[in-house]
């Protein structure tokens, strides 16, 4: 099997594994994320608007927006890095690429913290996403300019083996509904 085939099989299995985790989620799923972000008050950050069965960071993002800039990713095209548009709980949103909500009138900024959605994570900071490479390209570009903290946010049950490539950007920290996982180097 090629690495692409291995990743495709891992994605399919991960979607199936995440669905019951999503269905059993409670309103407190972002509690630990709020705690982590409280230690970075005022630092520009980007979260994400959940799609499919992703864990929802919006409560933690709303809390953080009271202290500093918060945004959401905007996909501008295949093979391009993400851009980040300012967001508050009151922002008018419309469906963007892949169905993730984006601001009607985007005002772009550069975050220093990026909350990253995922399908599978491991304790070394490995992450398997949807396969478009958007976060890998974006984190590489951001980190080339200044330190950028990548926080993986997922259900604890999404931990597993991650087939990695040299272009995959590592997570610095993983937060789940059950706690914070320090990445082992």
Task: Tell me the C-alpha distance between 167 and 113, whole Å.
Answer: 20
pLDDT tens-digit map of 126-135: 999 998 999 9
For residue 87, which of 63, 116, 117 has the smallest C-alpha distance? 63
Instruction: Walk me through the domains of the chain, giving residue ranges and CATH numbers.
Output: 3-182 (3.40.50.10420)
CB 114 within 8 A of CB 151: yes
pLDDT tens-digit map of 1-41: 898 899 999 999 999 999 999 999 988 899 999 999 999 99
Q: How many Cβ atoms sit within 10 Å of the Cβ of residue 95?
A: 11
The pTM (predicted TM-score) of the whole model is 0.95
């Amino acid at each position: 099997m090629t690495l692409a085939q291995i990743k495709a099989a891992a994605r399919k299995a991960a979607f199936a594994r995440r669905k019951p985790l999503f269905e059993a989620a409670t309103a407190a799923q972002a509690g630990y994320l709020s705690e982590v972000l409280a230690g970075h008050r005022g630092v520009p950050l980007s979260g994400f608007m959940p799609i499919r069965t992703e864990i929802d960071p919006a409560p933690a993002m709303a809390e953080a927006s009271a202290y500093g800039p918060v945004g959401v990713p905007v996909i501008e095209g295949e093979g391009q890095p993400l851009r980040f548009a300012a967001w508050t709980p009151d922002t008018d949103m419309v469906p963007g690429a892949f169905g993730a909500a984006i601001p009607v009138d985007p005002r772009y900024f550069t975050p220093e913290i990026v909350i990253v959605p995922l399908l599978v994570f491991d304790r070394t900071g490995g992450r398997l996403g949807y396969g478009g490479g958007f976060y890998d390209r974006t984190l590489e570009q951001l980190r080339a300019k200044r330190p950028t903290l990548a926080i993986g946010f997922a259900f604890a049950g999404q931990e597993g083996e991650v087939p990695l490539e040299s272009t995959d950007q590592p997570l610095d920290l993983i937060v789940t509904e059950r706690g914070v996982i320090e990445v082992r180097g």
